[in-house]
């Protein structure tokens, strides 16, 4: 009986997922000719063409699609056996970039759920403006980033969705139709800051920057204390009252994006990216805002179920 070396299957999966022999070679740490040779060897062992040469790019034949489907299952079982029987692998660190505009507990809950599936993965989180994160991702200094901007859709993003922006204030913060608006923000590098200022200037409302804080946790604390108002995505608000005042101008929607760098541990990165997208979008659709919410909230039952599905690989 013929046995199929698992390294040939891994090479096939890399070519299919990255849709490029060159990118697959880079991610596997081999040369492009070596990748081509392994694909040819696999096709010879199976006695069938797996890639459609008549189609542009990397396109699977009907047989190739079946082989890829079975190969993923086989490699998953192979890796599980090695994990159980062999020595524990060294911890891997995924470098995550999170825009200054993000807040809420969904990120932490998603990472905790992800570690039940990948217990040897650790995380290094950095916060910076979206433009800086995109540059660091392209340079290979970050593995996955979460950004929020007023840009239109980007085909390079793995996931994208829109978020509604709202003005938020503490219960003791007064607002009137004529007075100057006291703003609390993370500074000019924050998308919320830029859109808040643009909305006020467009509406002809005067304002002053009452406080510039290093992070959204500090912004929320300051707003809750009555220092002023700020702007947040509606789904991110879990620690502060929503302002029901209609005197502040309408804000535009923003685009939330998740990007994954090329190469690296694609399986882990893509699973994490998909888990984040699922949980953050579920949070957006199930968000509730009690009038006196001053403490962090846990995920809803729907979000917890989603985390469980991701953790189990379902």
Q: What is the pLDDT of residue 149?
A: 81
Whose structure tokens read 């179920």? Answer: 305
Q: What is the pLDDT of residue 89?
A: 56
The structure's pTM equals 0.58
- Which pairs from 290-296 meet CB under 8 Å and 24+ separation? 291/171, 291/241, 292/171, 292/241, 293/238, 293/239, 293/240, 293/241, 294/224, 294/239, 294/240, 295/239, 296/105, 296/238, 296/239
In angstroms, the CA 76 to CA 73 distance is 5
The domain 6-85: what is its CATH number?
1.10.10.10
Please, how many CA atoms are within 13 Å of residue 242, restricted to the half-sphere of its CB? 16
CA quadruple 134, 136, 140, 146: dihedral positive or negative?
negative
Q: What is the pLDDT of residue 30?
A: 84
In angstroms, the CA 11 to CA 52 distance is 17
Q: Per-residue b/e over 262-280, b at no fewer than 16 CB within 10 Å?
A: ebbebbbbebbbebbbbbb
Name residues of the chain where pLDDT drops below 70. Answer: 85-91, 101-105, 151, 177, 236-246, 264-265, 283-314
DSSP, residue by residue, 38-50: HHHHHHHHHTS--
User: What is the CA angle 136-137-140, rounded to 5?
Assistant: 85
What are the residue boundaries of the structural domains of the chain, listed by start? 6-85, 92-163+255-312, 165-252
CATH topology of domain 92-163+255-312: D-Maltodextrin-Binding Protein; domain 2 (3.40.190)
DSSP, residue by residue, 155-180: TT-SEEEEE-EEEEE-TT----SSSP
The domain 165-252: what is its CATH number?
3.40.190.10
H-helix or E-strand containing 138? helix 130-138
Q: What is the pLDDT of residue 219?
A: 86
User: What is the CA angle 56-58-64, rounded to 5?
Assistant: 120
| CB-based contact 9:42 (threshold 8 Å) | yes
Q: Residue 205 — φ and ψ, nearest 5°?
A: -90, 135
Please, how many CA atoms are within 13 Å of residue 302, restricted to the half-sphere of its CB? 10
Q: Which residues, 6+ apart, have CB-to-CB distance to 20 below 8 Å?
A: 58
Coil vs helix vs strand at 118? coil
Fold equal for 92-163+255-312 and 165-252: yes
Q: What is the pLDDT of residue 246?
A: 59
In angstroms, the CA 24 to CA 22 distance is 5
Q: What is the pLDDT of residue 68?
A: 93
Q: What is the pLDDT of residue 212?
A: 93
């Amino acid at each position: 009986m013929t046995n199929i070396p698992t390294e040939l299957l891994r090479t096939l999966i890399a070519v299919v997922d990255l849709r490029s022999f060159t990118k697959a070679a880079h991610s596997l740490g081999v040369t492009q000719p070596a990748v081509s040779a392994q694909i040819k060897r696999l096709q010879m062992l199976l006695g069938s063409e797996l890639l459609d040469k008549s189609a542009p790019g990397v396109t699977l034949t009907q047989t190739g699609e079946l082989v890829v489907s079975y190969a993923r299952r086989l490699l998953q079982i192979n890796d599980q056996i090695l994990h159980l029987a062999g020595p524990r692998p060294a911890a891997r660190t995924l470098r995550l970039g999170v825009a200054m505009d993000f807040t809420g507990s969904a990120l932490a809950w998603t990472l905790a759920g992800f570690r039940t599936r990948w217990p040897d993965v650790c995380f290094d989180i950095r916060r910076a403006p979206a433009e800086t994160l995109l540059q660091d991702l392209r340079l290979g200094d970050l593995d996955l980033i979460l950004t929020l901007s007023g840009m239109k859709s980007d085909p390079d993003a793995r996931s994208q969705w829109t978020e509604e922006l709202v003005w938020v204030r503490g219960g003791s913060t007064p607002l009137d139709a004529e007075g100057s608006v006291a703003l609390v923000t993370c500074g000019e590098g924050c998308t919320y800051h830029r859109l808040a200022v643009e909305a006020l200037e467009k509406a002809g409302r005067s304002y002053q920057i009452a406080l510039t804080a290093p992070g959204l946790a500090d912004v929320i604390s300051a707003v809750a204390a009555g220092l002023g108002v700020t702007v947040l995505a509606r789904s991110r608000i879990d620690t502060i009252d929503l302002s029901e005042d209609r005197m502040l101008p309408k804000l535009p929607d923003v685009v939330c994006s998740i990007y994954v760098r090329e190469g690296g541990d694609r399986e882990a990165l893509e699973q994490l990216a998909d888990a984040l997208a699922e949980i953050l979008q579920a949070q957006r659709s199930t968000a509730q805002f009690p009038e006196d919410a001053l403490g962090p909230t846990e995920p809803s039952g729907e979000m917890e179920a989603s985390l469980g599905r991701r953790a189990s690989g379902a």
